[in-house]
A = this chain, B = another copy of it.
Amino acid sequence: MNKTEKKWRWGAEIPRTDLACEGGTAAAEEETRTVEIGDSPVTVTRRRETDGGRSVTLSFGRITARGEGELTEMAETVADEMVAMAEAMTGRRIGGDLRVLVVGLGNRDMTPDAIGPGTVSRITVTRHLKAYDEALFGGLGCCELSALSPGVMGQTGMESGELVAAAVGLTTPHLVVAVDALAARSVERLSSTVQLSDWGIAPGAGIGNHRMPLTKESLGCPVLGVGVPTVVDSSTLVWDALMQGGMGEDDLPPELQRVLTEGRSFIVSPRDCDRMVELTCRMLAMALDMAFGVGEV
């Protein structure tokens, strides 16, 4: 759902994007507002797809160009949208009776893929407090929050989605929040956008380590996808350049078609993506703690 499925005549799926706003399909409904943070505004676009899926895209501009002091305000804006979507998706209010499992997808050892694990390692979980110190937990006024970074298949030998399903069986959450790196079509999107979506995470999203979708169908509970574009497929970058340079699909010589087809083995990321990933993880962890945990708004 909401993923470009176009296949060119020579078999490749190019250009590729995991972002609803780049997908090339018109929204059934779209509404944009602006929030002033620091010197430059943040745009918040709520979108309903023709198949009913809902998403919110927050565009911050380059996170590395904003001061540290703006992270908290950005997190508050994200947290507000998370709370609204979570309550709509579960039909429940945020509070001590709501069980939320945050899942950090991706590979912690690969900088542009580390958004998920880097966010999860910075949030404060509370589920165990409910079991071991119910009075303390009650006083916190937060959800029952648990968290997992399932790693990637090359590290565990297991499909990450299966491990998530097992953790869902264990914690029986009302909501799974799945944080992941995404692939964008445009390098301008990198490090500047957060996409919240009620359809979860598609298989092969981002750097593409996971094959199993993380959706209400696969996990049995609603999945709020939190995606941050950190890479562009190198074939998408080249394709767009060729089209801009006036080449048509029909003009491509066979060796270029091969380059494009194989180009998904290579990713394009910003030279300063360590800083971008660190700031983004800190901002998302604050937002998740504010929305569901012990964070103070």
* Interface residues of A, Cβ cutoff 8 Å to B: 67-69, 107, 109-112, 121, 124-128, 144-149, 151, 153-159, 162-163, 166-167, 169-171, 187, 207-208, 232, 234, 237-238, 241-242, 244-247, 251-253, 255-256, 259, 264-275, 278, 289, 294-296
Complex partner residue of A268 from B207, B208, B266, B273, CB under 8 angstroms: B266
Oligomer copy total: 4
7 CB-based A-B contacts, threshold 8 Å: A125-B155, A128-B159, A149-B151, A163-B166, A234-B234, A241-B256, A266-B271
Cβ contact within 8 Å between A271 and B267: yes
Complex partner residue of A157 from B68, B110, B127, CB under 8 angstroms: B127
Given A154-B272, A267-B270, 13 other A-B contacts at CB below 8 A? Answer: A67-B294, A110-B111, A125-B156, A128-B159, A145-B157, A146-B158, A149-B151, A158-B167, A163-B167, A163-B170, A207-B271, A234-B237, A242-B245
CA distance A31 to B68 in the complex (A): 35
Given A111-B109, A124-B68; A253-B246 close (CB under 8 Å): yes
Cβ contact within 8 Å between A270 and B266: yes
CA distance A158 to B129 in the complex (A): 10
Point out the residues of chain B lying under 8 angstroms from A232, CB to CB. 266
CA distance A251 to B167 in the complex (A): 50
Point out the residues of chain B lying under 8 angstroms from A154, CB to CB. 125, 128, 272, 275
Complex partner residue of A278 from B109, B146, B147, B289, CB under 8 angstroms: B109
In the complex formed, the residue of B with least CB distance to A297 is B69
In the complex formed, the residue of B with least CB distance to A296 is B69
